[in-house]
Amino acid sequence: MQVDEEKLAAYFADEPADAPFSHLDRARLPKHVSIIMDGNGRWATARGLGRSEGHKAGIVALREIITASVRLGIDVLSAYAFSTENWNRPAHEVNVLMHLFAKTFIDELPLLRRENVRVVFLGDIEALPKKTREVFEYGLKETAGHTGMVLALAVNYGARAEITRACREIAAEAAAGRIDPVSVDDKLVASRLYTAGLPDPELVIRTSGELRLSNYLLWQVAYAEFYVTDTYWPDFDRWGYVKALLAFQGRDRRFGGLSKK
């Protein structure tokens, strides 16, 4: 389906916050939406601001998309916040991000409680700076009993590291005689990934126009639909989200078979 951005924006202009959602077929929403939140730095640079300001603005966008996802009844929303390669950035930027993650998580706990959101982390959070790790562990505990949407935050996440870790675990168990190598199948591998127990993403959205995965969920996105928008992450809002979901609903998902349409 071709979506006319300007028409859509005009259409929604006078509508209340939840209105854009009425254009979606609620029965055909993806169970798991995953977002590569990219473009914070360029958003800031374009405004003559420092990159940190872009990251702060990115938090506001994430809050909007979390709320929208809850309203829509999405089961799982995952978001790529910090990759294993992002350690290569200047120490100052890494520090700003780690501090921002911790602060935001504390600030947003009331929202997560109110909306009954359960947080899980994808990635090695053990290796994060102590304060950030402690806040994340606290948040995990605090939201563990929530029964609503799952918010999976990918922090210090890299798909190759994730798959390697799973292989190592399975190999160790096989060597110890607890697993028969012949019985290793895709379900077993999936059960050793950070996403164990979650459905695979059906829709992956990447902002800022980049046409790459950047080491994100390589295993899990095998049959995901991709949607890329040029919008920088801080400018991504519920209208942009609805456009992505409409595009998803217009896709013919064949899974290697033939079209059912």
User: Could you list the residues that contact ligand IPE (CB under 6 A)?
Assistant: 36-42, 80-83, 86, 97, 208, 210, 212, 214
Give dist(CA 260, CA 253) in Å, integer: 9
Q: Is 233 in the site for Mg ion (CB under 5 A)?
A: no
Contact status: 200 vs Mg ion (CB under 5 A): no
In whole angstroms, the minimum distance from the beta carbon of 43 to ligand IPE comes to 7
For residues 192 and 171, give the distance between their C-alpha atoms in angstroms, rounded to a whole number: 12
CA distance 73 to 71: 5
Known catalytic residue at 86? yes
What's the rounded Cα separation, in Å, for the pair 21 and 203? 17
Comparing CA positions, the residue from 76, 161, 163 lying closest to residue 125 is 161
When asked if residue 58 is in the footprint of Mg ion (CB under 5 A), the reply is no
- Take residue 187 and report the two structure tokens written for it: 């379900």
Radius of gyration of the chain (CA): 19
Q: Is 51 in the site for Mg ion (CB under 5 A)?
A: no
Q: Output the smallest distance, CB 147 to ligand IPE, in A.
A: 28
Contact partner at residue 191 from Mg ion, ligand IPE, none, CB < 5 to 8 Å by partner kind? none
185 is catalytic: no
Query: What's the burial of 124, exposed, middle or buried (CB within 10 Å: 0-12/13-18/19+)?
Result: middle
3-state secondary structure of 229: coil
234, interface contact from Mg ion, ligand IPE, none, CB < 5-8 Å by kind: none
Name the catalytic one among 38, 40, 156, 200.
38
Binding flag, residue 79, Mg ion (CB under 5 A): no
Nearer to ligand IPE, 104 or 208 (CB): 208
- Selected from 33, 38, 76, 136, the binder of Mg ion by CB under 5 A is 38
The residue from 75, 86, 124, 235 that is catalytic is: 86
- Which residue(s) pair with 76 in the sheet? 32, 150
* Interacting residues with Mg ion (CB under 5 A): 38
Q: Which residues are catalytic, by number?
A: 38, 86
